[in-house]
Amino acid sequence: MFERILVPVDLTEKNEVAIDTVVRLAAHNPTSVTLLHVIETLALPFEELAQFYKELELRAAQALTQLSVRLVKAGISPVDRVVLYGPRAEKAVQYAEDNSIDLIVLNSHTIDQDNPGLGWATLSYKMAILAQCPVLLVK
């Protein structure tokens, strides 16, 4: 069904639901998974913050490795790990387009029933609107 799944992660525990969902989706289908973390850059020259970004990239790489081990243990292979820089939604959507991703799986916030309009500017909403492939939002 879905041969190439992209899982954008922010390296928090919220990602557990998306990872669990990918494990269930890929359990009976040959699927490759790409774990993607996008480091949002600041409006300063990149070179001035090179060491700061390098430390963020190292932390992200370690976290992605831990997540990939979990997926491999669940029988998913291959699992790629990618770290990019820039605006998160745009970079993730562009990566999906450039790499022929069939499905994006990511966390979504829980809707506040008293204020349902508060979540319109979230990352998950932006990606769901911008992506050219199916997007599965999990809670």
Q: How far is CA 3 from CA 12, 28, 82, 100, in A?
A: 26, 11, 18, 10
Q: Does the pTM of the predicted model rise above 0.95?
A: no
pLDDT band at 20; cut points 50, 70, 90: very high
pLDDT tens digits, 62-95: 999 999 999 999 999 999 999 999 999 999 999 9
- The total domain count for the chain is 1
CATH number, domain with residue 63: 3.40.50.620
| Peptide bond connecting 78 to the previous residue in cis, omega within 30 degrees of 0 | yes
Domain that residue 36 falls in: 4-138
